[in-house]
């Protein structure tokens, strides 16, 4: 089971997921409010852990190995704490076991600046986003999210 990081989705792990699938059953997971998962006004690590537990039960997954990246790692840690002795292995990537200050304010402002109802092109979305987010690579990553949301609506 592979869990993406903040602002990501299961798509981020597609290539590695395919490689892992040569030897294992792989689940690429979209956490709540990400990717194709339902959107909820409430989001915290405890609820994400509950969502993961529900998925494991629904799919009948035995002895799961959970790989969480960044925010997904925090959700995986919360899961392991709350549901002891469920996981065969826990892998936490790119995040430590500590509290982190919020540092995504600029990204959140940029995303809020993109009006999905009125934009008609990726270029328009990029212009709105670039008022706050200056790094090209980060813009491209976030535009993928915006365009995906536009298609969903």
Separation CA 67–CA 75 (nearest Å): 10
As assigned by CATH, the class of the 2-93 domain is alpha beta
- The tokens 């709105």 sit on which residue? 128
The sign of the dihedral angle between the CA atoms of 136, 138, 139, 144 is positive
Q: What is the pLDDT of residues 13-35, one digit of tens each?
A: 999 999 999 999 999 999 998 98
Separation CA 16–CA 21 (nearest Å): 8
**What pLDDT shows up at residue 59?**
97
Which residue positions in the chain have pLDDT lower than 50? none
Query: Which pTM was predicted?
Result: 0.71
**What pLDDT shows up at residue 53?**
98
For the chain, the domains span 2-93, 105-152
């Amino acid at each position: 089971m592979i869990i993406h990081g903040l602002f990501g989705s299961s798509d981020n792990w597609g290539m590695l997921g395919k490689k892992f699938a040569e030897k294992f059953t792989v689940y690429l997971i979209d956490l709540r409010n990400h990717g194709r998962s339902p959107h909820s006004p409430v989001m915290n690590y405890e609820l994400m852990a509950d969502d993961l537990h529900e998925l494991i039960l629904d799919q009948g997954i035995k002895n799961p190995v959970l790989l969480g990246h960044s925010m997904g790692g925090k959700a995986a840690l919360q899961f392991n704490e709350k549901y002891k002795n469920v996981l065969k292995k826990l892998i936490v990537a790119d995040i430590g076991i500590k509290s982190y200050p919020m540092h995504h304010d600029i990204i959140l402002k940029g995303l809020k600046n993109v009006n999905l109802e009125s934009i008609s092109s990726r270029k328009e979305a990029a212009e709105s986003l670039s008022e706050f987010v200056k790094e090209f690579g980060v813009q491209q990553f976030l535009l993928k999210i915006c365009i995906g949301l536009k298609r969903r609506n």
